[in-house]
Amino acid sequence: MRSDKDQMTVGKEKSIFEIQLKDVPREQENIPANAKPKEEKKEVFTKVVIRRLPPSLSKEQLEEHLSPLPSYDYFEFFPADQSLYPHLFSRAYINFKSTEDILLFRDRFDGYVFIDNKGQEYPAVVEFAPFQKISKKKLKKKDAKTGSIEEDLNLNIWGTIKKSTFFTLQK
């Protein structure tokens, strides 16, 4: 049994602890009045990846298997990387224009069995692409300096000096 003095100190400790919890500032109270609450971006996923495609499959063969394909604005095919043997799989990325098309496409091709030219079966996996942005095809500008080495004055002088010293050393 505890003495009355021990029970009183236990009661005081509880009350101090409760007070300390009440005095701790909360995150909402620390927000300045002029700060705007962060708005969550609701990003709609429209880009899907088809994984575990046969390594011997080409882009044209895949398009033939997938036809008729709903409307899309991006299609990229990556053949199997031979350095990753024995995990050789091709994959394709498609960005659909509407979300309804994604559901129809997934229902149709998730688990679809592709058969390669050797007769092996490859069940495909359709899922949202982890990176939803679309890569831009950059136009490669022709280098302005291409073919100008013959006209470079400094290089021509250096070449003639080098040639003349080479011939004088041989004589």
Q: Are 96 and 71 in contact (CB under 8 A)?
A: yes
The domain that contains 118 carries what CATH number? 3.30.70.330
The number of CA neighbours under 13 Å toward the Cβ of 5 is 0
| Residue range 104-115: mean pLDDT, rounded | 93
59 domain residue, yes or no: yes
161 domain residue, yes or no: no
Q: Give the pLDDT confidence of 58-77 residue by residue, as tens digits.
A: 999 999 999 989 999 999 99
Q: Give the pLDDT confidence of 11-39 residue by residue, as tens digits.
A: 555 544 454 545 555 555 555 556 566 66
pLDDT above 70 covers a percentage of the chain that reads 63
Tell me the torsion sign for CA atoms 156, 157, 162, 163.
positive
Q: What is the C-alpha to C-alpha distance for residues 57 and 51, in angstroms, rounded to an integer?
A: 12
Residue ranges with strand state E in 12-166: 47-53, 72-78, 90-96, 113-115, 121-123, 125-128
What is the overall mean pLDDT for the chain?
77
Q: Give the pLDDT confidence of 133-144 residue by residue, as tens digits.
A: 887 776 677 777
Domain region containing 86? 47-128
pTM listed for this prediction: 0.57
Selected residue with higher pLDDT from 5 and 74: 74
7 domain residue, yes or no: no
Give how many domains the chain has, as a whole number: 1
